[in-house]
Amino acid sequence: DAGVTQSPTHLIKTRGQQVTLRCSPKSGHDTVSWYQQALGQGPQFIFQYYEEEERQRGNFPDRFSGHQFPNYSSELNVNALLLGDSALYLCASSRGVGISYEQYFGPGTRLTVT
């Protein structure tokens, strides 16, 4: 049973560029959430997708956008990259939405902005 997968593993971009990160949820899961983890910090919630719609959004600017496809996979797009966007980006999936629902995380994409 494949877990949550993310691509690419590492990415180096220059300030002002745009980046797209990808996530495939665990088999049987239909909800995808994205988190940003700065070095030495806990993950911060970016947004959540369910039924191909953004259902909930954290305190992140509009430069951060996403998409969910009919097969439940998801993309995170970040425009006009800033140095402060350098972080580990984690994707998590769950079966449905609810406070007791377990979210399973992928290995993350390490983004470095120079």
Partner 1 sequence: GDSVTQMEGPVTLSEEAFLTINCTYTATGYPSLFWYVQYPGEGLQLLLKATKADDKGSNKGFEATYRKETTSFHLEKGSVQVSDSAVYFCALSSTNSGYALNFGKGTSLLVTP
Contacts of 69 (CB under 8 A, 6+ apart): 52, 75
Torsion from C-alpha of 97, 48, 99, 43, nearest 10 degrees: 150
Q: How far is Cα 93 from Cα 114, in angstroms, rounded to an integer?
A: 30
Selected range binding partner 1 among 11-19, 40-48, 67-75, 78-86, rule: CB under 8 A: 40-48
Work out whether 98 is an interface residue with partner 1 (CB under 8 A).
Answer: yes
Give the other-Cβ count within 10 Å of 28's Cβ: 9
Q: How far is Cα 15 from Cα 83, in angstroms, rounded to an integer?
A: 6
Q: How far is the CB of 63 from partner 1 (least distance, A)?
A: 19
Work out whether 74 is an interface residue with partner 1 (CB under 8 A).
Answer: no
Q: Site for partner 1 (CB under 8 A): which residue of 24, 36, 48, 93?
A: 48
Work out whether 44 is an interface residue with partner 1 (CB under 8 A).
Answer: yes
Q: How far is the CB of 114 from partner 1 (least distance, A)?
A: 21
Nearer to partner 1, 3 or 13 (CB): 3
Q: Site for partner 1 (CB under 8 A): which residue of 20, 30, 45, 86?
A: 45
Q: How far is Cα 109 from Cα 59, in angstroms, rounded to an integer?
A: 20
Look at the block and give the residue holding tokens 């629902």.
101
The footprint of partner 1 (CB under 8 A) covers 4, 33, 35, 40-45, 48, 55-56, 58, 90, 92, 97-108
